[in-house]
């Protein structure tokens, strides 16, 4: 760190300096790494806060960035696992053995502050802005102490942000007690129904009140908000969200498009690929255009054996080629799930129907291959954006958090998705919830509809391609996201000038 710090310190007088503080979860860290690169490409200096375990997990990205000479310094703070009562090494949400530890995990985050404050002004230059994930509420008071702007980073869609803010302001959940009572989302130009269970967040759960209020207060006090989306995807929603918050809102995505080269796409956010991208690409090269469906449910969702078998049987009934990513924890060797999956995988490969990938697959590489014609997804926002950028329509299967609202955006607003039919939220803690299992008939029908070659299916594919092209233009010079990123940097430059006495406050 010393060499990088010296370089950054020497240049700090001329460039705006941002400290980026991501939530320690893969779906939050990876886009913030892309944001760090974009800020650095745009002329800023960046200090990226991480921890030893998380740094090891994104080591390929760190090595690639350091080799490129981008002015980004990765600073590893000790994660306070012991103080939080967490097992050693549990420095990321997807490493927690039980989702009941989510609350202690989030409660431990303010303990990072004292370590960071000791470094700022010594090993880390005074920043001109702090960009933190919304769960790092403590970053707000640190920014005030340093007299620098605090900008919140939101990873979900603006549709989710606007909808949850409207639900809160209209106090809708205060009036609805049954978790499956339907209601109409407020403040939208079209009628969209949800149920309470699909919009409740972890921070709205009992015992989370203090953490929730701290996050709300930090967001109220923030100088601005950056979002991983683009103006052309959610134009009316972004405008309504700006009016509702009264803040500067900068959509600067799709952040994943920073990764232009095959290698950076293949290794994005991962240490060692389980299945080499080149091998997977060779398999896809032998398939017809648009004939393969890709199935992946993100880093946190867990499927029990009952659900795995329904997915497998649904795929076989649909008769399509597929690549299916399963987590190693779902199919541990020697378990019932492990034995079933081994037989299913061998049969699929023998019949040349599909490939089962255990652990991790290079999602951006797979989605961008011409042979992939559909994506069955958990509706995590990063995955949705990657599919949109590749022009691939989706079969939507939300599990929890922002995912049900993201599904409504994809299916009912954008018209580029087919719902699988999941109605019951399934958090990692209750993955065995029997009523949440989606049957093989629904799985098969959704896949068939997704891959349909008729007028309806072609309409989804055409719209997906159009949104993908708009996303690419947004990130190019002069595009909306390009200009918004410039706006973030210029905002920090303005603060830097005022701080240095060039402008009067």
Query: Are residues 325 and 391 located together in one domain of the fold?
Result: yes
Query: Are residues 248 and 353 located together in one domain of the fold?
Result: no
State the Cα–Cα distance between residues 263 and 70, nearest whole angstrom: 18
Query: Are residues 307 and 292 located together in one domain of the fold?
Result: yes
In this prediction, residue 2 has a pLDDT band, given cuts at 50, 70 and 90, of very low
Residue 249: inside a domain = yes
For residue range 227-271, what is the model confidence (pLDDT) as tens digits?
Answer: 999 999 999 999 999 999 999 999 999 999 997 765 555 555 554
State the Cα–Cα distance between residues 154 and 411, nearest whole angstrom: 22
Which pLDDT score is estimated for 143?
A: 96
The H or E element spanning position 144 is helix 138-146
pLDDT at 498 over 80: no
Query: Are residues 342 and 451 located together in one domain of the fold?
Result: yes
pLDDT at 479 over 70: yes
For the chain, the domain total comes to 2
Query: Are residues 250 and 301 located together in one domain of the fold?
Result: no
Residue 138: inside a domain = yes
Query: Are residues 491 and 458 located together in one domain of the fold?
Result: no
Instruction: Compute the average pLDDT of residues 384-389.
Output: 97
Q: Indicate the burial class of 115 (C-beta count within 10 angstroms; 0-12, 13-18, 19 or more).
A: middle
* Parent domain of 488: 2-160+222-258+477-499
Query: Are residues 420 and 483 located together in one domain of the fold?
Result: no
Instruction: Compute the average pLDDT of residues 101-105.
Output: 91
Nearest to 301 by CA among 26, 86, 24: 26
In this prediction, residue 52 has a pLDDT band, given cuts at 50, 70 and 90, of very high
Query: Rounded to two decimals, what is the model's pTM?
Result: 0.92
- Residue 20: how many CB atoms within 10 A of its CB? 25
Which pLDDT score is estimated for 496?
A: 66
Residue 360: inside a domain = yes
> Looking at 63-67, 369-373, 403-407, 410-414, which range is the least confident one?
63-67
Query: Are residues 245 and 375 located together in one domain of the fold?
Result: no
State both tokens at 382.
């990063």
Query: Are residues 50 and 108 located together in one domain of the fold?
Result: yes
Residue 88: inside a domain = yes
CATH, residue 363 = 3.40.50.2000
Query: Are residues 452 and 482 located together in one domain of the fold?
Result: no
Nearest to 406 by CA among 298, 479, 480: 298
Residue 113: inside a domain = yes
Nearest to 14 by CA among 62, 71, 68, 65: 71
Residue 93: inside a domain = yes
State the Cα–Cα distance between residues 219 and 48, nearest whole angstrom: 21
State the Cα–Cα distance between residues 240 and 247, nearest whole angstrom: 11
Nearest to 128 by CA among 241, 20, 275: 20
Query: Are residues 302 and 241 located together in one domain of the fold?
Result: no
In this prediction, residue 500 has a pLDDT band, given cuts at 50, 70 and 90, of low
- Look over the chain and give the mean of its residue pLDDT values, rounded to a whole number: 89
Residue 401: inside a domain = yes
281 vs 413, more confident: 413
Instruction: Compute the average pLDDT of residues 92-113.
Output: 90
Q: In what order do the strands lie in the sheet with 45-50?
A: 72-76, 45-50, 17-21, 129-133, 150-154, 224-227, 248-251
Residue 120: inside a domain = yes
Query: Are residues 351 and 406 located together in one domain of the fold?
Result: yes
State the Cα–Cα distance between residues 113 and 214, nearest whole angstrom: 15
* pLDDT-above-90 percentage for the chain: 69
């Amino acid at each position: 760190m010393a060499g990088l710090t010296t370089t950054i310190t020497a240049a700090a007088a001329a460039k705006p300096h941002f400290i980026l503080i991501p939530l320690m979860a893969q779906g939050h860290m990876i886009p913030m790494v892309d944001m760090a690169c974009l800020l650095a490409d745009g002329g800023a200096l960046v200090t990226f806060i991480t921890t030893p375990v998380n740094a090891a997990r994104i080591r390929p990205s760190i090595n690639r960035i350091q080799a490129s000479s981008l002015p980004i310094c990765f600073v590893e703070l000790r994660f306070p696992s012991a103080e939080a009562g967490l097992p050693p090494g549990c420095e990321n949400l997807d490493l927690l053995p039980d989702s009941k530890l989510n609350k202690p995990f989030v409660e431990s985050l303010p303990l990072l502050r004292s370590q960071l404050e000791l470094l700022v002004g010594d090993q880390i230059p005074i920043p001109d802005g702090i960009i933190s994930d919304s769960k790092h509420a403590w970053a707000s008071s640190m920014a005030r102490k340093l007299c620098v702007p605090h900008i919140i980073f939101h990873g979900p869609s603006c549709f989710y942000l606007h909808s949850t803010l409207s639900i809160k302001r209209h106090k809708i959940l205060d009036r609805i007690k049954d978790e499956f009572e339907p209601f109409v989302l407020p403040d939208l130009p079209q009628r969209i129904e949800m149920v309470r269970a699909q919009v409740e967040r972890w921070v709205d759960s009992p015992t989370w009140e203090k953490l929730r209020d701290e996050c709300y207060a930090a967001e109220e006090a923030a100088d601005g908000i950056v979002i991983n989306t683009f103006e052309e995807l959610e134009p009316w929603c972004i405008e309504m969200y700006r009016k509702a918050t009264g803040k500067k809102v900068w959509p600067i995505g799709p952040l994943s498009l920073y990764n232009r080269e095959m290698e950076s796409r293949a290794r994005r956010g991962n240490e060692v690929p389980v299945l080499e991208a080149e091998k997977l690409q060779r398999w896809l090269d032998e398939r017809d255009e648009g004939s393969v469906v890709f199935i992946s449910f993100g880093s946190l969702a867990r499927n029990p054996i009952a659900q795995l078998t329904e997915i497998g049987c649904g795929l076989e009934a649909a008769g399509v080629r597929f690549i299916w990513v399963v987590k190693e924890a779902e199919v541990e060797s020697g378990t019932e799930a492990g034995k079933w999956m081994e037989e299913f995988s061998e049969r699929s490969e023998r019949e040349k129907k599909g490939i089962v990938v255990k652990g991790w697959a290079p999602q951006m590489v797979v989605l961008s291959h011409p042979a992939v014609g559909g994506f069955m997804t958990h509706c995590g926002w990063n995955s949705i954006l990657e599919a949109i950028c590749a022009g691939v329509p989706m079969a939507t299967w939300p599990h929890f958090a922002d995912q049900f609202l993201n599904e409504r955006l994809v299916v009912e607003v954008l018209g580029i998705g087919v719902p699988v039919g999941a109605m019951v939220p399934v958090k990692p803690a209750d993955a065995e919830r029997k009523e949440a299992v989606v049957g093989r008939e629904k799985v098969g029908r959704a896949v068939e509809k997704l891959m349909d070659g008729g007028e309806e299916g072609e309409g989804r594919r055409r719209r997906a391609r159009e949104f993908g092209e708009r996303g690419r233009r947004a990130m190019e010079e002069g595009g909306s996201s390009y200009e918004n990123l410039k706006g973030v940097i210029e905002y920090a430059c303005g603060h830097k000038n005022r701080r240095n006495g060039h402008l009067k406050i």
